[in-house]
Chain A
Amino acid sequence: MKQEILTVISNIQLNSSTFEMKLSGVTEDMRPGQFVEVALKEKYLRRPISVADYENGVLTLLYKVVGSGTEIMSNIAPGEKLDVLTGLGNLFSIEKTEKPVLVGGGIGVAPLIGLSRAFYKKGIKPTVILGFRNKDEIFYLDEFEKVANVIVATDDGSFGIKGNAITALSSIEKPEFYYACGPMVMLKALSNYSLDGELSLEARMGCGFGACMGCSIKTTDGYKRVCKEGPVFMAKEIIYEN
């Protein structure tokens, strides 16, 4: 972890509620799976956001405006400085399979772009399933198509397969190993379908670096902090409560 003052290079609206922010000045090395904690003026807690991609000191974040903090983020202009804790959390383990299937739901597709590119660099073109509510919610499709075989599913059928990410998953050969990020309902359904995979989880966080125990979950291997031992967990180790 490092605390770094980064410069916003761009902050572009991708659809009605999703934005792409690029930041320069990162010195901490970061890999797919990890996240950062962004300090915002007038907000006490930092906001955890996944590393969508990171290359040559430029960090890309993909975020959805869901409340007042992400609203503030969406109004930040290029040139402004942001105080960010970088290099938080663990990584997706990309050595697990030669035939990766990536599953993302909604804004959960964010960390999968960096992961797709990482596989692509290794000479592996992953299969990526992107689930969205409807056509208008889709973003980054072009970017994914450059490095992956993409299948899109929408709940209302306005684009691609009608149904959710699991419906789309059933249309292909059962994956040997998957990587997923998205809403809890999707992750649970995925775990019911197969336990051979890794899931990136969310939790409300106090610190983001292991100091407060605000984000602990139960696993088959004892208590683990989403921010420190996670956010990426083996599907088979997660114990779902309620």
Chain B
Amino acid sequence: MKTEVSFLGHVLKNPIIPASGCYGFGYEFSEIYDINCLGSISLKGTTLLPRYGNPLPRIAECPAGLINAIGLQNPGVEKVISEEIPKLSKVYSDKVIANVGGHSTEEYVKTCSAFNDVDKVFAIELNISCPNVKGGGMAFGTDEKVAHDLVKEVKKVCTKPIIVKLSPNVTDIVKMAKAVESAGADAISLVNTFVGMRLDLRTGKPIISVKTGGYSGEGIYPIALRMVYQVSQAVSIPVIGMGGVTCAEDVLEMMQAGATCVMVGAKNLVEPFVCKQIIDDLPKVMKKYNIENLTDIIGRAHKF
């Protein structure tokens, strides 16, 4: 049985990748299991300068998921490269994906190119879809032209393959996908969180300090699956699928919808062993559905 997938010229031992922001810089999880089982890891969203992010509360519970408004808290790209990645390298031997956020084209370009000489990183995930950063983040991901131009600028200076992470908070996600593909994106990942909110029943006050945040978790799975299905048919670059994935069956379904790799986000926060569990279960579930080679099922929903 084969669980390997090739992605951007890189062979991953399986398609399971913890999603950005839900796995820190990896090493927290290495305290509880050997994270070398993972196909790769998408690191916490990184910006040019250190960021504290939004005031608390940043988390609100929902049925089948949570709303977060972290606001890209991170120590800044310099420290990520000099401290976080070396720490991760001690506990994880494969290459990882750096996730980059920003407020301006210039910031994105500088942050991305800072990773040019970092061998541990095999690709950059360009987060143009963070709903939690004022005047930036998602603004880049909801306008085709803005997204296109940003990707183009980043591609000029960045030597690593660029994965563009799309926001689901748009009218037509296929148009966005095509716009970034035509700008030279090497791959697409989707989806980021859906803008949502919760109120305190007693007072009517929003739970999240900045009022709204991004909703993710099991509740978004069918919508994410549909978007992966649509986007992967419309573009010829590989697609990473995510949104509410919790088990090996979800992974197979995402791959059938057209995903080459699958990211697991929020579930890591409440079931810290979920990625390991999925990887352990994969062969069993593949057998159940008579799948010999995972690569064979990528996009097989498209023919229907």
Contacts and interface: CB of A to CB of B under 8 A. Distances in A.
A220 to B, nearest CB: 14
Given A3-B32, A45-B270, A211-B268, A204 B57 contact: yes
Given A204-B60, A205-B59, A211 B52 contact: no
Contact of B269 (A43, A212, A216, A217): A212
Contact of B29 (A2, A204, A211): A211
Interface residues of B, number: 34
A209 B272 CA distance: 9
Given A44-B66, A45-B66, A211-B22, A206 B269 contact: yes
B223 interface: no
Contact of B44 (A213, A214, A223): A213
Given A39-B270, A44-B66, A214 B28 contact: no
Contacts of A217: 56
Nearest to B69: A214
A207 B32 contact: no
A125 interface: no
A141 interface: no
B70 interface: yes
A242 B209 CA distance: 12
Interface in B241-300: 266, 268-270, 272-273
A44 B62 contact: yes
Contact of A44 (B22, B31, B64, B68): B64
Given A45-B270, A206-B269, A207-B269, A1 B59 contact: no
A214 B66 CA distance: 11
Interface string B63-89: 111101010010000000000000000
A207 B57 CA distance: 14
A93 B239 CA distance: 50
Given A211-B29, A216-B52, A204 B58 contact: yes
Nearest to A242: B55
Nearest to B207: A204
A203 B32 contact: no
B73 A211 contact: no
A205 B270 CA distance: 10
A2 B33 CA distance: 10
Contacts, number: 88
Tell me if B's interface is mostly helix, strand, loop or mixed: loop
A115 to B, nearest CB: 25
Given A1-B32, A2-B32, A44-B217, A212 B53 contact: no
Contacts of B58: 204, 206, 213-216
Contact of B56 (A1, A204, A209): A204
A85 B28 CA distance: 14
A3 B268 CA distance: 13
Tell me if A's interface is mostly helix, strand, loop or mixed: loop
Given A45-B61, A211-B22, A211-B268, A206 B52 contact: no
Contact of A211 (B23, B53, B60): B23
B136 interface: no
B148 to A, nearest CB: 30
B21 A212 contact: yes
Interface residues of A, number: 28
Nearest to B218: A44
B55 A241 contact: yes
Interface in B105-146: none
Contacts of A213: 21, 24, 44, 53, 58, 70, 73
A44 B59 contact: no
A228 B24 CA distance: 12
Contacts of A205: 59
A85 B52 contact: no
A71 to B, nearest CB: 14
B58 to A, nearest CB: 5
Contacts of A210: 24, 28
Nearest to A208: B269
B64 A214 contact: no
Interface in B3-38: 21-24, 28-29, 31-32
Name the residue among B44, B56, B62, B217 with the largest chain A CB count within 10 angstroms: B56
A46 interface: yes
A99 interface: no
Given A85-B272, A203-B56, A206-B66, A211 B24 contact: yes
Interface of A: 1-3, 39, 43-46, 85, 203-207, 209-218, 223, 228, 241-242
Given A39-B270, A211-B29, 4 more contacts: A3-B32, A45-B61, A204-B58, A206-B269
Top 8 A-B pairs, shortest CB-CB distance:
A207-B269, A214-B59, A204-B57, A213-B73, A204-B59, A211-B24, A210-B28, A206-B59
24 contacts: A1-B31, A2-B32, A3-B32, A43-B61, A44-B61, A44-B62, A44-B64, A44-B65, A45-B61, A203-B57, A204-B56, A204-B59, A206-B269, A207-B268, A210-B24, A211-B22, A211-B28, A211-B29, A212-B70, A212-B269, A213-B24, A216-B52, A216-B56, A242-B55
